[in-house]
Amino acid sequence: MTDERFERIESILQATVVLTQQNREDIAQLTREVRTIAGSLERTNERLNQFITQAESDQQFFRNEVTGIRTEVKRIVEHLFGQSPDQE
């Protein structure tokens, strides 16, 4: 092989080393970013579950309140008119 070919091979190898190092750095950066995003997603999921649990609790509370109000209205109507609203 000629010196020119050796120099060309050396140049290619040096470029390969530089690109490999850049790729390693990029992979390390991406790994850090993925971990950050995964942590954010986990926290978001936890908050979403809290909201869902609270919404279910609120829904049950309001359902119970409406049932209680309905029962109380029936009692008042029966008291005032002597009959159940369902009998009309």
29: in domain: yes
54: in domain: yes
Tokens of 80: 């005032």
Q: Provide the pLDDT for residue 83.
A: 72
25: in domain: yes
**pLDDT tens readout for residues 34-53:** 999 999 999 999 999 999 99
88: in domain: no
57: in domain: yes
51: in domain: yes
**Domain housing 45:** 3-83
The total number of structural domains in the chain stands at 1
CA distances from 77 to 16, 57, 83 (A): 88, 30, 7
pLDDT along the chain (88 residues), means of 10: 90 97 98 98 98 97 96 93 68
39: in domain: yes
